[in-house]
Amino acid sequence: MHEMSLTESVGDIVIEEGHHQGFSRVTKAWLEIGALPGIEPEAMISCFDVVTRGALGEGSALAIVRTPGQGGRLACEEKVALCRALRPVPALRRPSGPDDGGRREA
């Protein structure tokens, strides 16, 4: 479960920044996570309580803001929001990603 490891890093940053900025307590931390992260944001919210226990972030909430993925073609530099990987770019009707002409380099 890599959510715990990621949440530990987020908790460390929250605590470090709280101390650096002279806070006596942190009540809420905001985290932006893209739409295609390969993690469970709800698991991170659950883990946050554990990783901030006994520190100035104890009892604080982790608010997660989901941001859309972004894709497009390098050739035309058009960008579109993605909600899943390799969705066709609307104007081109081709999968987004590098255009290698179907070739793979060894």
Domains of the chain with CATH codes:
2-67 (3.30.2320.50), 69-98 (no CATH)
- Residue 15 corresponds to which tokens in the numbers above? 């605590």
Q: How far apart are CA 9 and CA 15, in angstroms?
A: 10
The pTM score is 0.64
**Segments of 1-106 assigned E as strands:** 28-34, 61-67, 69-72, 79-82, 88-89, 94-95
18 compared with 86, residue with greater pLDDT = 18
**Segments of 37-95 assigned E as strands:** 61-67, 69-72, 79-82, 88-89, 94-95
**Mean pLDDT, residues 39-57:** 90
pLDDT at 14: 93
What lies within 8 Å, CB to CB, of 32 at 6+ separation is 64, 65, 66, 67
pLDDT at 1: 60
